Amino acid sequence: MTEAADLTALAPRGVTLLGCGKMGGAMLEGWLASGLPPASVTVLDPNPSDRLKALAGEGLKLNPERLGEADVCILAVKPQMMGEAAPKVAGLAAGGTLYVSIAAGTPISAFERLFGEGAAIVRAMPNTPAAVGRGITALIGNARVSEAQMEAAETLLAAVGETVRLEDESQMDAVTALSGSGPAYVFHLIEAMEAAGVAAGLPQDLAARLARVTVQGAGELARLSPEDPAQLRVNVTSPGGTTAAALSVLMAEGEGLTELATRAVAAAAARSRELAG
C-alpha cells in the first residue's frame, strides 16, 4: 500500500473521481485506507451510495455544483456512458489535470478528442481483485504525461494492488484479455473443479470449499515462491501418480489447457480491438 504522505503530496489540489461503482469505489477505499483525507476527494456519481453520503459528512465533496481544481481525475464510468459523463470534467484540462481512464476498450485518442490534444491522459486497465487490494493495473500515457504524473497515477492505483507500465498502447488489448478478464477465467476454473469434485462423489459444499481454498492457496504459493509456475507444477507431480494422471489430460498435445487458454485470450483480445473501433 502507498504511504499516506505520498498520496497527499502527489495531489495537493485533490483527486476527482468520475463514477464510483465497484472499481471506482475500490480505489476510493484504497486511497482512504492509505491516508488520503476525504476532503481531498471529489466524487461525481448520479446515484451515490450510502457510503459516499457518509463520507460527504467527513469532508468528501459529493456532486458539487462547480468543480474545483484537481491534480488527477479518474475516469471510472462504463465506456458506454463516457460520452455523456466526460464533458462534466472536461474543464479540468485547462488547469493541467491528469486524466486517468479505467474504461475498457477506450483508446487514448478518444479522450484526446474529448479533452483536447494538450491534455495529459493515462489509460489504465485494472482488474476486479482491486476490491480486496490484490489487483494489478497496466498503464500507458500519452506524450503529454510527465514522469511525475505517471508516478502519481501509479501511486494512486497501487492503493489497490500492483502496477505495470506498458511500452505501447497496442499491448492494452492483450492486457485486457489476460489480466482484465482473467479473474473470470479463474472463477470458472473454481466452478469446473467444484463440478468435477461432485462428479467424483463429493458433497457439493465440500467440493466447493476444497476447490476455492485450493485455488486461493496455489495462487498465494505462486505469488510468494521464487520458483516459476512450471517448477511448482513439477514439485507437486510424482511420476506415475494421481497428479500426473490428471495432467496427462490437462496437458494433452493440441487440446490441453494451454491451447484452450490461448484461444480464450485471443478471443478476448479480438473483442477488445473491436470495441475500440
Q: How far apart are CA 159 and CA 214, in angstroms?
A: 27
- Determine if residue 59 is labeled as part of a ligand binding site: no
Q: Is 18 annotated as a binding residue?
A: yes
Please tell me whether 235 is known to bind a ligand: no
φ, ψ for residue 14, nearest 5 deg: 95, 175
3-class DSSP assignment, residue 130? helix
19 marked ligand binding residue: yes
53 is in an annotated binding site: no
Tell me whether residue 20 is annotated as binding: yes
How far apart, in Å, are the Cα atoms of 21 and each of 29, 44, 62, 135, 241? 12, 11, 14, 16, 47
Helix/strand/coil percent split, the chain, to 5: 60, 15, 30
Three-point CA angle 165, 167, 172, nearest 5°: 75
Instruction: Return d(Cα 69, Cα 94) in angstroms, integer.
Output: 10
Q: Are 149 and 71 in contact (CB under 8 A)?
A: no
What is the C-alpha radius of gyration for the chain, rounded to an integer number of angstroms? 21
Cα–Cα distance for residue pair 153/101, rounded to 1 Å: 10
Written as nine digits, the cell of 67 is 468543480
Q: Is 21 annotated as a binding residue?
A: yes
Which residue intervals of the chain are DSSP H helices?
4-10, 22-33, 50-56, 79-85, 108-115, 147-157, 172-175, 182-199, 204-224, 229-235, 242-250, 257-276
Annotated ligand binding at 23? The verdict is: yes
Question: Is 73 a known ligand-binding residue?
Answer: no
Cα distances (Å, whole numbers) of residue 126 to 53, 74, 166, 179, 267: 25, 12, 13, 8, 19
127 is in an annotated binding site: no
82 appears as a binding residue in the annotation:
no
Residue ranges at the known binding site for NADPH? 63
Residue ranges at the known binding site? 18-23, 63, 76-79
Residue ranges at the known binding site for NADP(+)? 18-23, 76-79
